[in-house]
Amino acid sequence: MPKVRTWQLAAGAAVVGLALSAGAVTAAGPWDTGQRKAERQWAAAHQGTGGAHHEAPAAKRPAPAPSAPAVLAALGGASTRPHAAEAPATPPASLAKTLGPLLADAGLGPSPAACVIDLTTGERLWGSRAAEPMTPASTVKIATAVAALSAAGPDHRIPTTVVAAPGARRITLVGGGDASLDRARLATLADRTAEALRENGTAAVRLGYDTSLYTGPLLHPIGPNDNIAPVSALMVDQGRNDPRSTGPATRSADPAREAARVFADLLRERGVQLQGAPAHGRAAAEAVPLAQVLSVPVSALVERMLTTSDNDIAESLARQTALASGGRAGFAGASGAVAAQLRGLQLPLTGARFADGSGLDRRDKVSAELLTALLARSADPAHPELRTVLTGLPVAGFTGTLDDRYGPASKGSGLVRAKTGTLTGVNTLAGTVAGADGRLLGFSFLAEDTSSPYEAQAALDRLAAALTG
């Protein structure tokens, strides 16, 4: 089949180009967006200059916070503090005196849980009901992140591929589970596909689309919801009806069909004649690669997921964990794979359940102890592959889901980095903070049966800010 061999050569050249570009991006570092820039500006600030969205009179602005590189250097054993090892640990009795009354805030419901550890040593400094499994909401994304980085690796990229059947008259868009695929990268895939077809002298083809990588139900157990699209191996712009939207937004009931429709339009714009509408079905077993685009590395996806609490990427990463482990990429398979990865890291999983990867499912259960253990493992120099779990955490008063919390006058602004969690009646917070003695602390606070998210969030923020000393 001369045509197929030509396409194989073209695909091989494309793969070489992708590998080179992947190396360039890796060298540049993961997901360098406003979060990294804000941290650098904050750390280098003079006279208390703050971030663009948090302007305040100079006299009221907090002092510059330590930069992420300095904090992470301390974690890796290369502390910028000459006598870090000799710094006295925060006394547990002092933490109990400080945090106990704050944890008793009525806004946190009848029985909140807490755990605080020294991230350098892993020593627990204080806890309350720390081992009791509770509904974590979106803080379960920390577990999803650790599992995906451990199983798939931080450098893994998720492919979206076009394959060609023998005879050169049918091509298939094959979803690889990239929930970050947008129209710009889909247009790049259309460019590469059209070029390969032209080189082969093929003017007209039929287009199919394949979502068989994922198994089980498409709908999340919560049903149709603006916070998450149907979980498909193929989607563009996260199935948003308005691709310019962010946050909660109406989604397509069939993201894969919509992605195929958009791809078909892009091919037509590039002069490819399509015969009929895109058809759903598996690619032919003997089909060969024609063109491909790759996601950013999993490490960058983890940072984006944690910073913005992206539910679609969370479910994608849970399924990537299952695929990397040889399992089935559905809700059940992802649940088992995440648990297995964390068990392999010797984490305290008693009572834990990972019903989904995003935390939207109330059947998720984790303990405050497990969340801090996940943070400690991510800070462990023996596990550099997990480091973006820490760098992806939102920065208080600056980025992601914490950008509108911790005002300029708050002690925690710029110092607290934490993953938020919110469901009706459930409010959680887990992350890191630089303590007064120079130690980097890990914390988790879980509250159920809360009556007001605003009161609960304020109480959680006060707990985390209190750890700054």
Q: What is the CATH number of the domain that holds 205?
A: 3.50.80.20
Model confidence, pTM: 0.83
Q: Which of 430, 353, 357 is nearest to 389 (CA)?
A: 430
- Say yes or no: 382 and 318 in one domain: yes
CA atoms of 362 and 414, how far apart (whole Å): 31
Does 327 share its domain with 432?
Answer: yes
What residue numbers bound the domain in which 22 lies?
2-30+158-295
Are residues 144 and 261 both part of a single domain?
no
Q: What contacts 224, CB < 8 A, 6 or more positions away? A: 251, 253
Q: What pLDDT is attached to residue 409?
A: 81
Q: Specify whether 388 is located in the same domain as 257.
A: no
Domain termination site, one of 280, 295, 310: 295
Q: Give yes or no: residues 187 and 226 share one domain.
A: yes
pLDDT at 246: 86
Q: Are residues 148 and 172 in the same domain?
A: no
In angstroms, rounded to a whole number, what is the distance separating the alpha carbons of residues 64 and 61?
Answer: 9
CA separation, residue 15 to residues 11, 114, 165, 369 (Å): 6, 48, 19, 44
Q: Are 345 and 365 in contact (CB under 8 A)?
A: no
292: its two tokens? 């491909």
Rounded to whole angstroms, the Cα distance separating 312 from 180 reads 8
Q: Quote the DSSP letter at residue 448.
A: E
Angle at 413 between CA 368 and CA 463, to 5 degrees: 35
Distance (Å, rounded) from C-alpha 450 to C-alpha 455? 9
Strand partners, 329: 214
Residues 317 and 460 in one domain: yes
In the DSSP assignment, the letter for residue 241 is S
Q: At what angle do helices 311-324 and 331-344 cross, to 10 degrees?
A: 70
Q: How far, in Å, CA of 109 to CA of 456, rounded?
A: 8
Number of structural domains found in the chain: 2
Per-residue confidence (pLDDT) for residue 90, from 0 to 100: 59
Same domain? For 216 and 199 the reply is yes
Taking the C-alpha atoms of residue 334 and residue 395, their distance in angstroms, rounded to an integer, is: 29
Residue 64 and residue 98 share a domain: yes
The rounded distance, in Å, linking the Cα atoms of 353 and 380 is: 24
309 and 359 in a common domain: yes
Q: Are 54 and 397 in contact (CB under 8 A)?
A: yes
User: What pLDDT, on the 0 to 100 scale, is given for residue 264?
Assistant: 98
| DSSP state letters, 350-402 | TT-B-S-SSS-STT-BB-HHHHHHHHHHHH-TT-GGGTHHHHTSPBTTTSGGG
| Secondary structure of residue 173 in the 3-state scheme | strand
Same domain, 460 and 318: yes
The continuous run of DSSP H or E covering 288 comes out as strand 288-294
Q: Are residues 287 and 173 in the same domain?
A: yes
Among the candidates 295, 317, 349, a domain finishes at 295
Q: pLDDT tens for the chain, 469 residues: list them.
A: 333 333 333 333 333 233 323 333 333 333 333 344 433 343 333 223 222 232 222 333 223 333 333 334 433 333 333 334 444 455 667 899 999 999 999 999 999 999 999 998 999 999 999 999 999 999 999 999 999 999 999 999 999 999 999 876 899 999 999 999 999 999 999 999 999 999 988 889 999 999 999 999 999 999 999 999 999 999 999 999 999 888 899 999 999 999 999 999 999 999 999 999 999 999 999 999 999 999 999 999 999 999 999 999 999 999 999 999 999 999 999 999 999 999 999 999 999 999 999 999 999 999 999 999 999 999 999 999 999 999 999 999 999 999 999 988 888 999 999 999 999 999 999 999 998 888 899 999 999 999 999 999 999 999 999 999 8
pLDDT of residue 89: 54
Q: Of 247, 269, 295, which residue constitutes the final position of a domain?
A: 295
What CATH number corresponds to the domain at position 92? 3.40.710.10
How far, rounded to the nearest angstrom, does the alpha carbon of residue 232 sit from its chain's CA centroid?
A: 17
